[in-house]
Chain A
Amino acid sequence: MRDITLGQFVAGNSIVHKLDPRTKITIMLLYIVMTFLVKRIYFFAIPLAFLIMGLLLSRISLKYIGRSLKPIRFLLVFMFLLNLIFTGGETVLLDLGFWKLTLEAILQSFFMTIRIVLLVAGASMLTLTTSPIALTDGIEKLLTPLKVFHFPAHELAMMMTIALRFIPTLMDESEKIRNAQMARGADFESGNIFRRVKSMIPILIPLFVSSFRKADELATAMESRCYHGGEGRTRMHQLRFTKADLFALLISLAFIAVLIVLLVLFK
Chain B
Amino acid sequence: MIQFDHVTFRYENADEPALCDVSLRIEEGSFVAIVGHNGSGKSTLAKHINGLLLPSSGTVTVCGLQTNLEENILPIRQQVGMAFQNPDNQLVTTIVEEDVAFGPENLGIEPNEIRSRVDEALASVGMTNYAEKAVHHLSGGQKQRIAIAGILALKPRILVLDEATAMLDPSGRKELIDTVKSLHKTGMTVLMVTQYMEETTECDRIVVMNHGKVVCDDTPKAVFSEVELLAESNLVPPETVKVRNALRELGYSIPDSVLNAEQLAEAVCPLL
Docked CA distance A213–B88 (Å): 12
Q: Does A204 make an interface contact (CB < 8 A)?
A: no
Q: Does the CB pair A133–B89 fall under 8 Å?
A: no
B87 to chain A, nearest CB (A): 10
Per-position 1/0 for B107-124, Cβ under 8 A of A:
111110011001000000
Docked CA distance A248–B163 (Å): 52
Q: Does A227 make an interface contact (CB < 8 A)?
A: yes
Q: Does the CB pair A236–B52 fall under 8 Å?
A: no
Instruction: Contacts A165-B91, A214-B89, A224-B50 given; indicate if A5 touches B101 (C-beta within 8 A).
Output: no
With beta carbons under 8 angstroms apart, the residue of B90, B94, B103, B107 that contacts A218 is B90
Q: Does B36 make an interface contact (CB < 8 A)?
A: no
Contacts A164-B94, A165-B93, A218-B90 known; list 9 others, CB within 8 Å. Answer: A162-B92, A218-B92, A221-B84, A224-B52, A225-B77, A225-B81, A234-B108, A236-B98, A238-B111
Considering the complex, give the chain B residue whose CB is closest to the CB of A170. Answer: B88
Can you show 8 pairs from A to B with CB atoms below 8 A apart?
A: A5-B136, A214-B88, A221-B82, A225-B77, A234-B105, A235-B105, A236-B101, A236-B104
Q: Does the CB pair A220–B95 fall under 8 Å?
A: no
Instruction: Contacts A6-B134, A218-B89 given; indicate if A227 touches B104 (C-beta within 8 A).
Output: no
Instruction: State the 10 A-B residue pairs at the shortest beta-carbon distance, nearest first.
Output: A221-B90, A217-B89, A236-B101, A168-B136, A225-B103, A236-B114, A232-B108, A226-B106, A224-B82, A165-B94
Per-position 1/0 for B207-227, Cβ under 8 A of A:
000000000000000000000
Q: Does the CB pair B77–A5 fall under 8 Å?
A: no
B contact residues around A233 at 8 Å (CB): 105-106, 108
Q: Does the CB pair A223–B52 fall under 8 Å?
A: yes
B109 to chain A, nearest CB (A): 6
In the complex, chain B residues 176-229 whose Cβ is within 8 Å of any chain A Cβ: none
Q: Does B125 make an interface contact (CB < 8 A)?
A: no
B201 to chain A, nearest CB (A): 28
Q: Does the CB pair B94–A226 fall under 8 Å?
A: no
Docked CA distance A168–B136 (Å): 7
Chain A residues bordering chain B, tally (CB within 8 A): 32
Q: Does A222 make an interface contact (CB < 8 A)?
A: yes
With beta carbons under 8 angstroms apart, the residue of A133, A169, A213 that contacts B136 is A169
Q: Does the CB pair B115–A236 fall under 8 Å?
A: yes
Q: Does B154 make an interface contact (CB < 8 A)?
A: yes
Q: Does B32 make an interface contact (CB < 8 A)?
A: no
Q: Does the CB pair B77–A165 fall under 8 Å?
A: no
A residues adjacent to B (C-beta < 8 A): 2, 5-6, 132-133, 161-162, 164-165, 168-169, 172, 213-214, 217-218, 220-228, 232-238
Q: Does the CB pair A225–B151 fall under 8 Å?
A: yes
B contact residues around A6 at 8 Å (CB): 134
Docked CA distance A6–B104 (Å): 25
Give the A-B contact count at a CB cut-off of 8 A. 101
Docked CA distance A223–B134 (Å): 22
A78 to chain B, nearest CB (A): 36
B251 to chain A, nearest CB (A): 50
Q: Does the CB pair B134–A5 fall under 8 Å?
A: yes
B contact residues around A220 at 8 Å (CB): 52, 84
Q: Does the CB pair B103–A236 fall under 8 Å?
A: no
Q: Does B240 make an interface contact (CB < 8 A)?
A: no
A contact residues around B107 at 8 Å (CB): 226
Q: Does the CB pair A161–B74 fall under 8 Å?
A: no
Q: Does B86 make an interface contact (CB < 8 A)?
A: yes
Q: Does the CB pair A228–B106 fall under 8 Å?
A: yes
Docked CA distance A236–B114 (Å): 6
B contact residues around A132 at 8 Å (CB): 94
Per-position 1/0 for B148-177, Cβ under 8 A of A:
001100100000000000000000000000
A199 to chain B, nearest CB (A): 27
Q: Does the CB pair A236–B111 fall under 8 Å?
A: yes
Docked CA distance A13–B106 (Å): 30
In the complex, chain B residues 128-154 whose Cβ is within 8 Å of any chain A Cβ: 134-136, 147, 150-151, 154
Q: Does the CB pair A226–B154 fall under 8 Å?
A: yes
A222 to chain B, nearest CB (A): 6
Considering the complex, give the chain B residue whose CB is closest to the CB of A229. Answer: B106
Q: Does the CB pair A226–B78 fall under 8 Å?
A: yes
A contact residues around B97 at 8 Å (CB): 236
B contact residues around A169 at 8 Å (CB): 88, 136
B62 to chain A, nearest CB (A): 13
B37 to chain A, nearest CB (A): 21
A contact residues around B111 at 8 Å (CB): 234-238
Docked CA distance A87–B91 (Å): 54
B148 to chain A, nearest CB (A): 12
Q: Does the CB pair A217–B86 fall under 8 Å?
A: yes
Q: Does the CB pair B82–A236 fall under 8 Å?
A: no
